[in-house]
Structure 1
Amino acid sequence: MSATRIDQAMARIGSAMERIDAARARIEASKGEAPASPGSSRVMELVNAHERLREEVADTIGELDALIEELEQ
């Protein structure tokens, strides 16, 4: 396995972690705001953003698993 692929994977992981931290900060900042109604577009935006982040994290973990498996061979 080349160092370049490992570096690229690590960069993607770092980027994903930064987005997760930013999302967490936005959630913390919004705690003082009035709660949104269950059917509001803001709630749907948050649900969609969460789903995109979840999928990206799952993809990144899959890449890490593949890299680890390749290193173990």
Structure 2
Amino acid sequence: MSGDRIEDAVSRIEAALARIAAVADSVPGDSSGNPELEAENERLRSVVSEQIASLDALIAEIGE
């Protein structure tokens, strides 16, 4: 993968993360006090963290 393609891919990932953060910041409500929402929130955070780590590893591998 050429340098330009890697930069384009990273830019798309960063833009997607910015959109996710914007949506997360705009969602009203608080899950505290609701154990089911807290558990789902933690599960989703874990899934997202794992996927970001996978993307990071893939980008590092491609850059080698």
TM-score normalised by the chain length of structure 1: 0.57
Letter in 2 for 1:43: E
Gaps of 5+ in 2: none
Paired AA for residue 44 in structure 2: E
Deviation, 1:13, is 0.7
Q: Which residue of 1 aligns with 2:56?
A: 57
- C-alpha separation in 2, matches of 1:47 and 1:26: 18
TM-score with structure 2 setting the length: 0.62
Cα drift, residue 12 of structure 1: 0.9
Which of 19, 22, 25 is the aligned partner of 2:22?
A: 25
Alpha-carbon distance change, 27 to 57 in structure 1, aligned in 2, over 3 angstroms: farther
Which of structures 1 and 2 has the bigger CA Rg? 1
| Aligned-pair Cα RMSD in Å | 2.3
Query: What are the ranges of 5 or more consecutive residues in structure 1 without an aligned counterpart?
Result: 67-73
**Is 1:9 the counterpart of 2:3 in the alignment?**
no
The residue type paired with residue 14 of structure 1 is S
C-alpha spacing 1:50/1:27, structure 2 compared with 1 (3 Å): farther
Q: Given the superposition, is the C-alpha separation of residues 23 and 15 from structure 1 closer, same or farther in structure 2, using an over 3 Å criterion?
A: same
Compute the displacement of 1:10 (Å): 1.1
The CA deviation at 1:27 is 2.2
